Chain A
């Protein structure tokens, strides 16, 4: 049962029957749940699974599950056994997004990107603050990278350099810049998110530059 040897250092360890599972099991701290922000070193599986992975983590909506990177709970559990530290595998079990979303809490909001036809969803309660949310958005739209400015962060499409500013619609129907209000107030009032081209976002409610509004 030989498998191809590869020289790339990014090769994943082989998934062998059963016993190799814990080697390839994803270990990750949930964003904002006391663990570290997901970083490259935490990811044993560095594929685009990371995009979906964060969605899975984000979509759980509660803070059970993996808190730190030590979540190897053994390869198999035959009997039903609640496992407190369970790593998420992207797209598994195979439950359609629509069905997953339908059983979610109402802090689940849609995320739209100007100019792109697809919608995604993110559970605001799953994140502890703006940092984690932005990281989640970065994962969700993996084509973007985060560019740091003195008082804000923007998402950038590296292909054409277009900057996107995260904005949201609040309960009053106004479009605001993400990061303006304290986090908890934001979670309570945010109806949906939109990554707006920064050139279009000029007319949005601006904030005082001195405010440290991201905690």
Chain B
């Protein structure tokens, strides 16, 4: 570099800001900010969208200070395994600290997206009061609030465009929360209340959506009866995304034809979901819009194979399909024949805990889809049997997978024909799919599969492992390979201290590591914590008997371990079952 030449001063700051506005990803902006002090200063003042993947990775006040002009923030709290009850309910992830800091430093905040956080009504009230131009509230897999909090949002957020409540646990204590939207309020574009359990005042809802000409997404909850859906749809024929309420009623020809024409009247419909309690009676009412559908979520409908086939074969332009395993192999073969544009498939188990009647959903369905749908790149598949041969075929057919999550429901299930572990099959997936970013393993697996993953999965960002591996080598392969790994979650695997300590530095390059029911000891965690000051090493021990953790010996086994990088130091809101080692 020419000494003393301040090249950043070649252009006024505004020009650099404009250049930075073309950087698509936060990672790119982060890189730009490291080039020189001037760029750091310019970039931070012009960043208006921030994503915090782990709410404890940074102090809220520090984030707010660094980026004073933020208009849109997305924050995630609990680790992913909280979805499956592996994380204690009082672990943390409270949103107050963030909402308070944002209320203080980002009064112009317009969009807030929270995932897996504990959001109280107080938080919602603070949001409603403090952000004058608030437009988007998205809560995914959150809990801790009630419809009283939603009433505050409705009453105060005059410019609200999106209220998107996805799979939250919401207490219903304010039946008339929707009545709190003022009569003058007309700005809604998205309203998703599918997760609410309580009754919805449909007349109030009708009036609300009737005065929102820009409403594109409406997802109802299962309390809205089918008869009322007709009236609602008449008010919003411009709808693009509809989540029905209860999709069952006594058979009534008049209701059927009203419903059919109301749905046909929505000429822009691209996405359908809901279908609570759907049966074959009213399903044909949606046939007229099937051709235009790009997204179909039938995963809450216990429809059987034949009905599903009749419906889905009409959806020639489908890109995303979520369905229950009741579709069976035959149904998936029909999907493969009809839905040539399919990109994402999720098949959920209708009966995860028993096996009342065997469902004929096997590896054949997955293979058929992989063969018939050339644009497929994302799969979530719950089944009970698999073979290496099938996985090899899938890998060959679909080199473009970005996300592959296979859940064979019985742990340690081998290839049912050869009785071999499924190492070869999953290895084929990671070797063929060079752009794979997310992978979930299942079935009988030895350390060999981890060797392949470590060596080949260069784009892998998230890996979920359960009931797999032989010993330490498995974990070592992962941590010493997988150069883009961000999130690793492991349960019930025989992985111990050595690979953790040998790869301590790797943990700082990742967002987080979760290990439960493995073979890690307290001593290793202590060592790790001492060695790596930029990691929070959280030991979670819910059993109440015995000595407190500080007095336990080094060889004490650790039930659950959550390690994440942070610049905020140990958090101060740990419950009694969580210790942060130093």
Contacts and interface: CB of A to CB of B under 8 A. Distances in A.
Given A3-B472, A17-B470, A141-B89, A98 B385 contact: no
Contacts of B446: 17
Contacts of B546: 10
Interface SS majority for chain A: loop
Nearest to B324: A103
B517 A76 contact: no
A78 B385 contact: yes
A3 B496 contact: yes
Nearest to B170: A119
B416 A79 contact: yes
A119 B171 contact: yes
B412 A118 contact: no
A93 B413 CA distance: 13
Contacts of A141: 89
Interface stretch (B37-45, B251-259, B285-293, B487-495): B487-495
B404 interface: no
B357 A18 contact: no
A15 B494 contact: yes
A22 to B, nearest CB: 10
Nearest to B120: A117
Contact of B517 (A5, A10, A45, A86): A45
Given A76-B444, A90-B86, A94-B83, A47 B385 contact: no
Contacts of B133: none
Interface stretch (B203-211, B312-320, B551-559, B563-571): B551-559
A5, A18, A64: most-surrounded residue (chain B CB, <10 A): A18
Nearest to B358: A80
B94, B276, B494, B520: most-surrounded residue (chain A CB, <10 A): B494
B349 interface: yes
B473 A15 contact: no
A91 B385 contact: no
B358 A117 contact: no
B556 A8 contact: yes
A128 to B, nearest CB: 19
B409 A93 contact: yes
Contacts of B352: 93, 95, 100
Contacts of A86: 353-355
A21 interface: yes
B543 A47 contact: yes
Nearest to A62: B354
B69 interface: no
A6 B558 CA distance: 11
B511 to A, nearest CB: 19
A136 B411 CA distance: 26
Contacts of A2: 471-472, 496
A15 B542 contact: no
Interface string A8-19: 101110111110
Interface string B344-362: 0000111011111111001
A64 to B, nearest CB: 6
B393 interface: no
A24 B491 CA distance: 13
A15 B492 contact: yes
A35 interface: no
A97 interface: yes
Contact of B555 (A7, A83, A97, A142): A7
Contacts of B48: none
B81 interface: yes
A90 B84 CA distance: 8
Interface stretch (A51-59, A147-155, A181-189, A198-206): A51-59
A60 B384 CA distance: 19
Interface residues of A, number: 67
Contacts of A45: 517
B543 to A, nearest CB: 6
A93 B382 contact: yes
B543 A21 contact: no
Contacts of A143: 90, 575-577
A175 B179 CA distance: 26
Interface string A93-115: 11111111011000000101000
A1 B447 contact: yes
Nearest to A22: B412
Contact of A1 (B86, B171, B473): B473
B467 A15 contact: yes
Given A4-B555, A100-B352, A77 B410 contact: yes
A117 B407 CA distance: 32
A207 interface: no
Contact of B354 (A8, A17, A49, A60): A60
Contact of A14 (B171, B276, B299, B494): B494
A126 to B, nearest CB: 12
Contact of B89 (A79, A94, A120): A120
B219 interface: no
Contacts of B155: none
A103 B521 CA distance: 39
B327 to A, nearest CB: 16
Interface in B398-448: 407, 409-417, 419, 421, 440, 444-447
Given A78-B414, A118-B90, A4 B497 contact: yes
B472 A48 contact: no
A88 interface: yes
Given A1-B471, A119-B169, 19 more contacts: A2-B496, A6-B556, A6-B557, A15-B517, A17-B470, A18-B444, A21-B411, A47-B560, A48-B88, A48-B542, A51-B85, A79-B385, A80-B384, A89-B411, A93-B349, A93-B407, A97-B169, A98-B195, A158-B544
Cβ-closest 9 pairs across A and B: A1-B471, A78-B416, A48-B542, A91-B84, A117-B144, A52-B85, A80-B358, A82-B355, A98-B167
Interface of A: 1-8, 10-12, 14-18, 21, 24, 45-49, 51-52, 55-56, 60, 64-65, 75-83, 86, 88-100, 102-103, 110, 112, 116-120, 141-143, 158-159
25 contacts: A4-B521, A8-B557, A14-B494, A17-B470, A18-B414, A18-B421, A21-B412, A47-B559, A48-B560, A55-B85, A65-B354, A75-B412, A78-B417, A88-B353, A89-B492, A91-B84, A92-B411, A94-B466, A95-B349, A96-B83, A98-B195, A116-B89, A118-B143, A142-B542, A158-B544
